[in-house]
Amino acid sequence: MREPRTDGEPERLHRLEQRPRLVGLPAHAGALRRHNLALVLAEIARGEGASRAQIASVTRLTRGTVSALVDTLLSAGLVVEGGPNRGSVGRPGNALRLNAEGPVGLGIEINVDYVATALLDFTGRARSVRIVAGDNRAAAPQAVLGRSVHMAQQMVAESLTESSKIVGIGVAVPGLVSSEGVLRRAPNLPGWESVAVAETVESMLAMPVEITLVDNEANLAALAEHWYANADVGDDFVRVSGEVGVGAGIVIGGELWRGVNGLSGELGHVTVDPQGPQCSCGGRGCLEQVAGQEALLREAGATMPAGTALGVPDGPISALVARAKRGDEQTLAALRRAGAALGIALSSLVNVLDVPTIVLGGLYADVAPWISDEVSRELHARAIGYHDAGVRLLVSQLGAEAAVRGAAGLVIRRIIDNPSLVADHLAR
Amino acid sequence: MREPRTDGEPERLHRLEQRPRLVGLPAHAGALRRHNLALVLAEIARGEGASRAQIASVTRLTRGTVSALVDTLLSAGLVVEGGPNRGSVGRPGNALRLNAEGPVGLGIEINVDYVATALLDFTGRARSVRIVAGDNRAAAPQAVLGRSVHMAQQMVAESLTESSKIVGIGVAVPGLVSSEGVLRRAPNLPGWESVAVAETVESMLAMPVEITLVDNEANLAALAEHWYANADVGDDFVRVSGEVGVGAGIVIGGELWRGVNGLSGELGHVTVDPQGPQCSCGGRGCLEQVAGQEALLREAGATMPAGTALGVPDGPISALVARAKRGDEQTLAALRRAGAALGIALSSLVNVLDVPTIVLGGLYADVAPWISDEVSRELHARAIGYHDAGVRLLVSQLGAEAAVRGAAGLVIRRIIDNPSLVADHLAR
């Protein structure tokens, strides 16, 4: 994660008069305005079409202060006005909402065998999503990043209007990320070590943006599940991402648990068979060696055409699903073994961490009909705290788009939490 | 955990004048006083011998308010005055400190093969600790709780002076605890299901106390490690408790991670061999089946006299240690196997949760010289995020007293965080 640019414009002071709201001890007036701008936008982001008067009532700011802050948000294009407002207070037609036609967040995903890009507006709606297959293990990091940036530029040229400025970039990568946006290591992308992803993407894109955030793809997919999925996942769940690698995004209290050093969720390297096959990580019998995409295809005897990938209609997982549907015994046996191994690893996770809900994502969503029984059976037998209540097992509906939507969504959420990062800069 | 009794005494108002400190929006004046009393005690609990004037300066309360609050704490016996104070401000001899001779917390531990009691004063010093062996699997819950309460009463009669009132009880149990202080299930104590531990201990003890808290023994041992151990464990670590059961207390940011439903840390039921021996939990090849106390003694061929327990000088672990010291090959092989299994389970934990430090406690502290290499080797090979930095492996110095000291300490910490629970009640 990179620090945003500091805003050079002098801050104006909107004093809290008459109805003070205690906001801690602000260091200076700029901090107070930033806090109040976020307060107002948060109220609008609830999506109930609040009027200025209603926002003033809820936030306990004066109407004058609210109007000035709303003007800033309007002129930055972050919100729009119009349509009937809730309740009876205020003039009709002055309801405020997030602007679906305004600034957008750009998401980029680099995965082992595909690259994806997405544009999301401030309501969280996907303006455009694209996934392109290609084995990234054979290419240099710079080449893969260049290809993803080129895809993003094409998408911007095709999808964006003048008013839809890109305010930030989120990048999903299949590995361990430092707080400075550096990919430290990607177990399934040999040679990707200490790659300055944020810096490289920013300089290649040559487009001024306010923030660039980089995170693990399983983490971002879990956030997308929390923000954009239809199913009620709740605030405490783990989303498993089945790809070439297997990762887990851990959401606790509605927030990602990234670990003490940002290294959490390496479910693919949980041991399911201590004497099992050697793993690229240095261990033995890691979950990935039994239930990762390549192990699964190999065990099922499924062919894997070069250059095809997950999420692509005729990709290898589609072939696997077709075989399972026609009852191919080798495929069904491989899926049962993978499901049992996944269930064992998830039981260990639940025993240690205690989360009540698991969401199957990535390829595990595609093959859920053939692995769910095994996953559930192992969880029931081994997750000691959930013998009675049971662990809730859900299947992701986001498909291969989860991580790239989460990447773009992370940027949007960050700006909704702190609109001062962009508001003055965007003001027309 | 039980809710404390509500204090019936009307609260007096100490207004915040002249130098306001923003403390949120208190519902009423009583909340303000409770907040400020805690603020003052927290400053005293830092142990630097602050004077009233120094406390006023740090907390930004008026000197009059601080004096009134300090009087309350003095008359409750929670703090004492005297001795040289830090720095030059204030009269000499007016340094305030926690009272080592005042109220105490009572800790009780029920484990599978022993019962323990402890009295801790407000400085965290153990006034008395006692551990008595006995196989609790054979006895009914009421009988075991009765025995522990009898031990506590004897300890109180022998150790406590008139001024050392017991303000609360902490109970450590080897199982899953609900938020109401009910032991839901203890995997190694058959028949202990839905036992109302808090209620039973309170009514058996027949001694008025302000709070009774019940928690898992591995959790409480981890807190003791954080509060009372000499070694610098840091704020983010996992403490493994090797007993008949194997548990883990997870401390993140200095606080326990109890899980979404209070069920975290069941390390003993992490799978280390999917085809391994059947476990009492319903799973197979759980860590406990390889590295728990009974499995370890059995594999080592060590005899286990009835009624002996961990922490007892001539208990079975002492016999195991003696065999290891004289180089008994069967014992050394059993310890190596247990160490490897523990390392595998801990690697899975680190891969999922990302914690940088592990503390070996319980029997694993006693046998650390013969298992540490195996634990470290597996962690190095399997904990993917820590190939470079390495997971820090420490050995607990608290012995078998960890959980019972944590139990008493939890009560003391709870009261230091909110002295209003007891201050007016204790005031002489």
Test B261 with A382 for CB contact under 8 angstroms.
no
Q: Which residues pair with A237 in a beta bridge?
A: A251
DSSP secondary structure letter of residue A86: S
pLDDT at residue A74, rounded to an integer: 94
Find the DSSP H helices in B49-116: 52-59, 63-75
Whether residue A354 and residue B273 make contact (CB cut-off 8 A), yes or no, is no
CB-CB: which of B258, B270, B356 is closest to A351? B270
Residues 6+ apart with CB under 8 A from B180: B1, B2, B198
Check whether residue A337 and residue A254 sit in a common domain: yes
- In which band, very low, low, confident or very high, does the pLDDT at B92 lie, cut at 50, 70 and 90? low
B339: in domain:
yes
**Greatest mean pLDDT among A189-193, A236-240, B202-206:** A236-240
Cross-chain CB nearest to A260 (options B262, B274, B355): B355
Verify that B35 and B130 share a domain, yes or no. no
B358, part of any domain: yes
Which residues in chain A touch residue B233, judged by CB atoms under 8 angstroms apart?
A: none
CA distance B186 to chain A (A): 10
Domain match, B85 and B135 both: no
Q: What pLDDT does B15 receive?
A: 27
Average pLDDT over residues B380-389: 89
**Residue B253 per-residue DSSP state:** T
Domain boundary among A59, A84, A99: A99
Same domain, B240 and B359: yes
Range of the structural domain that residue B159 is part of: 104-220+404-415
Instruction: Using alpha carbons, select from A18, A131, A159 the residue that is nearest to residue A401.
Output: A131
Which amino acid is located at A388 in the chain? Answer: D
- pLDDT at residue A131 is higher than 60: yes
- By mean pLDDT, which of A91-95, A124-128, A148-152 is the weakest? A91-95
- Domain of B161, CATH number, reads 3.30.420.40
Percent of chain B topping pLDDT 70: 87
Least-confidence region, from B80-89, B90-99, B163-172: B80-89
Torsion of CA B3, B7, B13, B19, to 10 degrees: -30
Work out the angle between the directed axes of helices A368-382 and A329-353 (0-180°, nearest 10): 40
Give residue B12's pLDDT: 28
Identify which of A225-234, A353-362, B225-234, B301-310 has the greatest average pLDDT: A353-362
State the pLDDT at residue B4.
33
pLDDT band with cut points at 50, 70 and 90 for residue A3: very low
Tell me the two tokens of residue A62. 């004066």
Judged by CB atoms closer than 8 Å, whether chains meet at B348 and A351 is answered as: no
A48 plus A196 within the same structural domain: no
A78-107 average pLDDT score: 79
Place of tokens 């030059």: B88
Does B80 reside within a domain? Answer: yes
Interchain pair A382, B286: CB under 8 A:
yes
Q: Is A353 left (phi over 0), alpha (psi -120 to 50) or beta?
A: alpha
Q: Among A312-321, B317-326, B404-413, B415-424, which stretch is predicted with the lowest mean pLDDT?
A: A312-321
d(CA A378, CA B285): 12
User: In Å, how far from its chain's centre is CA A419?
Assistant: 19
Instruction: Judge: B348–A348 Cβ closer than 8 Å, yes or no.
Output: yes
**Claim to verify: residue B88 and residue B125 sit in the same structural domain:** no
DSSP A271: B
Closest CA to A29 of A2, A10, A48: A10
Nearest CA-CA distance, residue A91 and chain B, Å: 32
Higher pLDDT, B417 or B47: B417
Contact A236, A225 (CB under 8 A): no
Contact list in A for residue B266 (CB cut-off 8 A) is 351-352, 384-385
Among B239, B289, B354, B391, pick the best mutation site for testing chain A contact (most A Cβ within 10 A): B354
Give me the pLDDT at residue B426, please: 78
Quote the DSSP letter at residue A60: -
Distance CA B192, CA B187 (A): 8
* pLDDT surpasses 90 at B91: no
Q: Which of A241, A269, A182 is closest to A402 using CA atoms?
A: A241
Instruction: Kindly state whether residue B168 falls inside one of the protein's structural domains.
Output: yes
Out of A124-138, A253-267, B172-186, B310-324, which region has the weakest mean confidence (pLDDT)?
Answer: B310-324
Please report the pLDDT score of residue B13 as a whole number: 29
> What residues of chain B lie within 8 A of the CB of A281, using their CB?
382, 384, 387
**pLDDT for the residue A4:** 33
How do B104-110 and B166-173 pair as beta strands? parallel
User: Which range has highest mean pLDDT (A44-48, A410-414, B315-319)?
Assistant: A410-414
Cβ–Cβ under 8 Å, residues B201 and B170: no
Residue that the structure tokens 């999903």 belong to: A172
DSSP string of A349-386, one letter each residue? HHHHH--SEEEEEEHHHHTHHHHHHHHHHHHHHH-GGG
Length of chain A: 428
Q: B272 and A272: CB-CB below 8 Å?
A: no
- For CA atoms A257, A261, A267, A273, the dihedral sign is negative
Question: Is it the case that residue B22 has pLDDT exceeding 50?
Answer: no
Q: What average pLDDT does the structure give for chain A?
A: 86
Average pLDDT of the segment spanning B122-129: 93
Report how far residue B316's alpha carbon sits from residue A341's, in angstroms, rounded to the nearest whole number: 36
CB within 8 Å of A419: residues ≥ 6 apart = A37, A38, A41, A73, A76, A78
- The answer to whether residue A53 scores a pLDDT higher than 50 is yes
pLDDT recorded at residue B423: 82
ipTM of the predicted structure? 0.84
Q: How far is CA B187 from CA B50, B92, B111, B137, B247, in A?
A: 48, 57, 11, 11, 11
User: Which chain B positions have a beta carbon within 8 Å of A351's beta carbon?
Assistant: 266-267, 269-270
B427 assigned to some structural domain:
no
Helices (H), B105-159: 141-159
CATH number of the domain residue A24 falls in: 1.10.10.10
pLDDT surpassing 90 at residue A281: no
Which residues on B lie below 8 Å from A386 (Cβ)? Answer: 263
For residues A90 and A74, the answer to whether their CB atoms sit within 8 Å is no
Asked if residue A427 is part of any domain, the answer here is no
Mean pLDDT of the A93-122 span = 93
Q: What average pLDDT does range A14-35 have in this prediction? A: 52
**Sign of the alpha-carbon dihedral angle for B375, B288, A240, A278:** positive
Query: Torsion over CA of B380, B384, B390 and B392, rounded to 10 degrees?
Result: -90
Give domain status of residue A426, yes or no.
no
Quote the pLDDT of residue B32. Answer: 86
Are A52 and A159 part of one and the same domain? no
pLDDT at B302: 82
Q: Mark whether A109 and A88 lie in a shared domain.
A: no
Cβ–Cβ of B266/A176 closer than 8 Å? no
Q: Which of B351, B375, B380 to mutate to test the interface with A (most CBs of A within 10 A)?
A: B351
Measured between CB atoms, which of B260, B262, B385 is closest to A263? Answer: B385
Of B99, B127, B150, at which residue does a domain stop? Answer: B99
pTM for this one? 0.85
Cα B78 to Cα B210: distance, rounded to the nearest angstrom: 14
The HSE-up count of residue A101 (CA atoms within 13 Å, CB side) is 6
Instruction: Write down the mean pLDDT value for chain B.
Output: 86
Decide if pLDDT at A130 tops 60.
Answer: yes
Q: What is the C-alpha separation between A159 and A296, in angstroms, rounded? A: 37
Give the number of domains in chain B. Answer: 3
Mutation test of the interface with chain A: which of B238, B260, B347, B355, choosing the one with the most A Cβ atoms within 10 A? B260
**Is the pLDDT reported for residue B31 higher than 60?**
yes
- Would you place residue A18 in the very low, low, confident or very high pLDDT band (cuts 50, 70, 90)? very low
Residue A262 has pLDDT above 80, yes or no: yes
Chain A positions touching B265 (Cβ under 8 A) are 352, 354
Asked if A181 and A198 touch (Cβ cutoff 8 Å), the reply is yes
Nearest to A260 among B22, B263, B354 (CB): B354
> Range with the lowest mean pLDDT among A168-177, A308-317, A356-365, A413-422?
A308-317
Please give the C-alpha separations between residue B65 and each of B21, B37, B62, B98, in angstroms, as whole numbers: 12, 10, 5, 19
Give me the pLDDT at residue A176, please.
87
Q: B74 — phi, psi (to 5°)?
A: -65, -45
Residue range A295-317, pLDDT digits in tens? 999 999 986 555 555 445 557 88
A163 plus A266 within the same structural domain: no
For residue A171, how many other CB atoms are within 10 A of its CB? 30
Question: B354, A281: Cβ pair inside 8 Å?
Answer: no
Does some domain include residue A423? no
Name the residue with higher pLDDT: A377 or B303.
A377
Long-range contacts for A198-205 (Cβ within 8 Å, ≥24 apart)?
Answer: A198/A1, A198/A2, A198/A171, A199/A2, A200/A141, A200/A142, A200/A145, A201/A108, A201/A145, A201/A148, A201/A149, A201/A169, A201/A171, A202/A2, A202/A169, A204/A145, A204/A146, A204/A149, A205/A149, A205/A152, A205/A153, A205/A169
DSSP for residue A269: G
Residues B84 and B116 in one domain: no
CA of residue B11 relative to chain centroid, distance = 32
SS3 content of chain A, % helix, strand, coil (to 5): 40, 20, 40
Which has the closest alpha carbon to A243: A175, A179, A192? A175
Boundary residue ending a domain (B77, B99, B121): B99
Mean pLDDT of B108-130: 94
Percent of the residues in chain A that have a pLDDT greater than 70, as a whole number = 87
Same domain as B376, residue B249: yes
Q: Report the DSSP beta bridge partners of residue B72.
A: none
Least confident of A6-15, A76-85, B408-417: A6-15
- B310 and B374 both lie in a single domain: yes
